[in-house]
């Protein structure tokens, strides 16, 4: 289970989120059997998407964040429900590239430095809300910050980190998102900037046993912080046989008949969680009817 916190400063100038997503990133690395740098990239995206999930207003709303850039990892996708439960997918989970010039996993090298980030919010309206901004660094946190500033006009600070151990398990993962509300004045921004200069990295804090609350209190030092909610979040897929059946139906009778003729059935594997769904020839015939 991961831990998520939502807070506001009592002067009403800042709303903030922080998450410890170690278990989520670990589960993602197990599902996708990803190499270290891809685990770091996907873990960062999952952390951000989970925090964007709890920003949603409606209980049944969901948010999808997709990164399409020119790196070897290919497309990365994360989907969160309104509680912050997330799942993710990456088209090339195994990328082996050298460490970057700081001796760290080269996330932007795996993701790519040119492309787009897409945010699609299903708010249960006729049309989903969607926004798109260019990738500016491929390190993901900067790209999320840029998305909020340019697409939603919300001044945002986002910091994300994933520490991968030698055995490829995740040692620490998480991040925070801090957003300025319309009442924030210059002194608030100055204070925040000062704080950010003085804090250790997210992974250093989390690896040092900091909780999301401690992390936020460091970032918001000097502000009176009110914790609004603390929730448990996890890597969770909502796939079901029913959904897979509908997906199969959408590819059409001709394709299904071809599956019967060639494979005498179908095996469908969920992209997000790896669960297998088996359909016999009879199952498929029934679907075609």
Give the binding site for Zn ion (CB under 5 A): 237, 239, 270, 272-273, 275
List, in order, residues 6 or more apart from 122 with CB less than 8 Å away: 61, 62, 63, 64, 128
Q: Report, in Å, the least distance between residue 86 CB and Zn ion.
A: 12
What minimum distance in Å lies between the beta carbon of 274 and Zn ion? 7
Q: Is 234 left (phi over 0), alpha (psi -120 to 50) or beta?
A: beta
Which C-beta is closer to Zn ion: that of 135 or that of 273?
273
Q: Work out how close the CB of 85 gets to Zn ion at its nearest, in angstroms, rounded to a whole number.
A: 12
Cα–Cα dist 289/281, whole Å = 13
For Zn ion, which is the closer residue by CB, 83 or 184?
Answer: 83
> In the complex with Zn ion, which residue's Cβ is closer, 202 or 239?
239
Q: Are 95 and 72 in contact (CB under 8 A)?
A: yes
**Cβ proximity to Zn ion, 37 vs 237, nearer residue:** 237
Closest distance to Zn ion from the beta carbon of 233 (Å): 17
Which of 148, 272 has the CB closer to Zn ion? Answer: 272
CA 208 distance to own-chain centroid: 23
52 half-sphere exposure, CB direction, 13 A CA radius = 31
Nearer of residues 62 and 145 to Zn ion, judged by Cβ: 62
Whole-angstrom distance, CA of residue 54 vs CA of residue 217: 19
Contacts 24+ apart (CB under 8 A), 278-285: 279/248, 284/248, 284/256, 284/259, 284/260, 285/260
The total number of residues shown for the chain amounts to: 289
In the complex, least distance from residue 92 CB atom to Zn ion, rounded to whole angstroms? 19
* Residue that is written with structure tokens 């990892």 in the block: 73
Q: Shortest distance, CB of residue 273 to Zn ion, whole angstroms?
A: 3
């Amino acid at each position: 289970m991961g831990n998520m916190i939502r807070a506001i400063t009592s002067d009403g100038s800042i709303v903030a989120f922080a998450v410890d997503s170690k278990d989520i990133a670990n589960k993602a690395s197990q599902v996708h059997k990803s190499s270290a740098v891809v685990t770091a990239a996907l873990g960062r995206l999952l952390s951000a998407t989970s925090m964007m999930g709890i920003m949603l207003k409606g209980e049944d709303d969901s948010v999808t964040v997709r990164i399409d850039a020119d790196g070897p990892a290919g497309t990365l996708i994360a989907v969160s429900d309104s509680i912050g439960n997330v799942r993710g997918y990456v088209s090339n989970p195994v990328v082996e590239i050298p460490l970057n010039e700081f001796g760290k996993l080269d996330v932007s090298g795996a993701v790519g430095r040119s492309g787009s980030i897409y945010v699609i919010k299903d708010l249960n309206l006729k049309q989903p809300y969607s926004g798109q901004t260019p990738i500016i660094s491929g390190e993901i946190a900067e790209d999320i910050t840029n998305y909020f500033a340019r697409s939603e006009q919300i001044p945002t600070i986002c910091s994300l980190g994933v520490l991968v151990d030698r055995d490829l398990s995740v040692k620490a993962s998480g991040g925070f998102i801090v957003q300025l509300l319309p009442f924030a004045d210059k002194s608030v921004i100055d204070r925040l900037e000062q704080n950010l200069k003085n804090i250790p990295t997210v992974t250093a804090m989390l690896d040092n046993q900091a909780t999301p609350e401690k992390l936020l209190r460091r970032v918001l030092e000097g502000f009176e912080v009110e914790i609004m909610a603390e929730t448990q979040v996890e890597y969770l897929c909502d796939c079901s046989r029913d959904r897979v059946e509908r997906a199969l139906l959408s590819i059409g009778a001709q394709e299904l008949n071809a599956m019967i003729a060639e494979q005498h059935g179908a095996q469908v594997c969920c992209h997000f969680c790896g669960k297998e769904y088996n359909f016999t020839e009879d199952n498929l015939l029934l679907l075609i009817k």
